[in-house]
A and B are shown apart, each in its own frame.
Chain A
Amino acid sequence: MSLSLSRLFRRSTVFIFLLVLVVFFSLTTNRFLVGQNLTNILVQNSHVILTAVGMTLVMLSGGIDLSVGSVAALCGALSAGLVARNGLPAEIAIVLGLVAGFGLGLVNGGLVVYGKLPPFVATLSMLGVARGLTLAYTNSRPISNLGDAYNFWGRGDVLGVPMPLIVWVTVVVLMTYLLSQTRFGLYVYAIGGSEETARLASVPVNRVKMVTYGLSGTLAALAGVLLTARVYSAQPQAAVGLELQAITAAVLGGVSLFGGVGNIPTAVFGALLVGVLGNGMNHLRVASYPQQIIQGVVLVLAVAIDMATQRIGGHKSKRGSSS
């Protein structure tokens, strides 16, 4: 009984938090609960949502990807550069940017799977390398003049629905399907739950992990492209700290840091929670430094709740309690 209660709590924590915040900001500022503002939240947080989805995949399999912010910046800058400097059509430049993101993700995966590096170390290195490459590629200056075709992805709309919203909803639907209906999805959960068992059941553990990192890189690149298009230029310092937001979102959404537990839709709500928090604090004119502090505190709270429910719920599995 206590088991299902704790699980219910775990699943609904994010909704409760979100509801509380929405009510709080609606009462304390009169510009929060306005249609345009709500749309803004959905659009402005596209990059957080996309990376949170990728992060969820990686975390479910028992890993973590700290490089998403830098990979987003690098791939955004690369696609922008291919348009502005090399004159490639926007669509081709964007696809190449995504391919680059996939490649960087595979490098992460390779370091973890074949290099046997802890995911934290492998992706922390990539965080540094990709940021350095971004600064080198952009000469530390913004790349602009991207043209309408490129900017459309950040600013355009179809029948009044903003493009970034269309993109992330599509991604969320596809990835949720992938995770819940396919063999690959089941294997991601199995590996995160018990890698040894998965291996014994002849699950292709290495390949599945490579793909999760590859997808995380691709989604980070997509996030970078949307971010670039939305501000009409690729910024060398774009998406700094995005990994923190993505992890916060995933954990708030009930994705376990130990792997094997969580799903994409609630992680998306986790990302929206992060977005609402930022947006509301802006309306309350909270300065940016205190905002970072509050975000940090929220992350700690989320992790503490995660560990607590893990402990309550984990007493039956022998494996979980041994560390």
Chain B
Amino acid sequence: MNTTPLLHMSAISKSFPGVKALDRVDFTVQPGEIMALLGENGAGKSTLMRILDGVFTPDSGQIFWRGQPVQIRSPQDAKNLGISMIHQELALVPYLDVAKNIYLGREPAGLLPGTIDWTTLYEQAHQQLARLDLDVDPRTPVRDLPLAQQQMVEVAKALSLSAQLIVMDEPTSSLSNAEVAVLFRTMRALKEQGVSIVFISHRLNEIFAIADRVTVLRDGSLVGSEPLQGMTADALIRMMVGRELGETNQRPAGEDVQSQRQPILEVRNLSRAGILHDINFTLYEGEILGVAGLVGAGRTELAETIFSVHPPTQGDILLRGQKLRLRRPADAIRAGIALVTEDRKGQGLFLRMEVGANISVRILHQLARFGLIRWRDSQHLAQEYVDKLGVRTPSVRQKVRNLSGGNQQKVVIAKWLTLKPQVLILDEPTRGIDVGAKGEIHRLMRELASQGVGILMISSELPEVLGVSDRVLVMRGGRVVAEMNPRLATQDDIMRAATGAKTS
């Protein structure tokens, strides 16, 4: 190519304590090009984009804008160059109208000092909207618009800043098909006008539909930048996943779990309006059932629905053949269902309290006499679980926040085990936990399963899903789209099901 690229990020590296987020990544965007940016969670996409937006400073590497080296130290710098970010969380003031949102901070001045020339403001806003072919009254409060049009307002705002490069972070994740079509039309129109777009999405079919080229990141490294013409979905998935399956396969060999054991949890036609659609599956005694899928596929929502954080709009949950009437989490807990949430620190622990108190908090009524807690019993009990689970802590009096992530997770699990649950749901059980502790958590899960507990494990890490589960469900768009045998399935298979890519 003999044109100067609009943007060239060269050998960008960035480390955070303990993690190398980006390792000498190159990223180039040509004028008038739609570049897709693809990678698993944690591959480094958002870090790269934050560096481009001036939120993070790279440890090393250089950014060239129209061939000139530039320093981007703040989002303001990025904006001045002509780079606009459209985040999933839209940066709009919901109560203000469209025109005010587009020109916030840059209002045309009126005759008197400090006043605003409203006529010009609304006229200019009208022109920007027309440029996007958007039939919206600029006086409509933004909150009254559907989400897709709110995004368009952001695009209009970017254009009014004469943006040359617009980064869209998963703009389609909450749009309907019709709305996606509208967005794509706008993106093509922008391309015609010479504006470049970085399009971040997990949906391969969308990438094939709209983008010119794709850049794939994996584990903080660049896998490659390729034109999409002539590329197959399979090839793209291989670029994303890279490695072949299974390093830590701990499954006992040659056992067909389903046929021998009793069903413990049955989910029948479970739906939650707009979120979950007709979900059916059975969890067997002593089984680890993995749930894979992309962010937003409805996995956490499924866990929360079974745990009765939100009531289903339809469907039944059966425990050992008995239909459960669950109205709130307390009902689920009483029935023997436990949920280890994704948000360990916020929802699972009292960080400023001791290990002992955290473990025994669920069964305080058993530990109390005349309303007074018998702390010695509580500590004995906690000590028992600390030993059993191998929590590394100097004593049960230690404050939980002083423990490592892996040990904190064990404390959360211990807390639930005091209730002797029959079904244990784990949402991203090893997120942010170092490799050693990860293995221990996996062993612990295996041990609980061998005692007959049914385990539902939600995980975004494919090696974990394949290595630990007895069976894997794949979710996409609030539905269970596939069931797989981890001994036969590959990471590619799961990714293909999770992204909805067509098999070639």
Residues of A within 8 A of B (CB): 3, 181-184, 186, 189-190, 193-194, 196-198, 200-203, 260-261, 313-314, 316-320
Contact = CB atoms under 8 A, between A and B. Distances in A.
A239 B92 CA distance: 40
B95 A203 contact: no
B115 A193 contact: no
B144 A201 contact: no
B179 to A, nearest CB: 14
Contacts of A313: 143
B105 A317 contact: no
Interface of B: 75-76, 89-96, 100, 104-107, 110, 114-116, 143-144
Contacts, number: 66
A205 B483 CA distance: 52
Given A182-B116, A183-B116, A260 B144 contact: no
A3 B94 CA distance: 13
Contact of B105 (A182, A201, A260, A314): A201
A207 to B, nearest CB: 13
Contacts of A184: 114
Given A183-B107, A316-B144, A193 B114 contact: no
Contact of A260 (B95, B115, B116): B95
Contact of A197 (B104, B106, B107): B104
Contact of B116 (A186, A318, A319): A186
Given A189-B96, A190-B96, A317-B143, A182 B91 contact: no
B305 to A, nearest CB: 18
Closest 3 interchain pairs by CB? Answer: A201-B105, A193-B93, A317-B94
A319 B94 CA distance: 9
A24 B167 CA distance: 60
Contacts of B107: 183, 186
Contact of A196 (B91, B100, B143, B144): B91
22 contacts: A181-B116, A182-B114, A186-B96, A186-B107, A193-B95, A193-B96, A194-B93, A196-B91, A197-B91, A197-B92, A198-B93, A198-B105, A200-B91, A202-B76, A203-B104, A260-B93, A260-B95, A314-B143, A316-B94, A316-B144, A318-B90, A319-B94
Given A197-B91, A200-B91, A183 B104 contact: no
A130 to B, nearest CB: 30
Contacts of B94: 193-194, 260, 316-317, 319-320
A193 B91 CA distance: 11
Contacts of B143: 313-314, 316-317
Contacts of A200: 75, 91
A318 B89 contact: yes
B5 to A, nearest CB: 27
Given A193-B95, A194-B93, A186 B144 contact: no
A183 B95 CA distance: 16
Contact of B104 (A186, A261, A316, A320): A186
B173 to A, nearest CB: 12
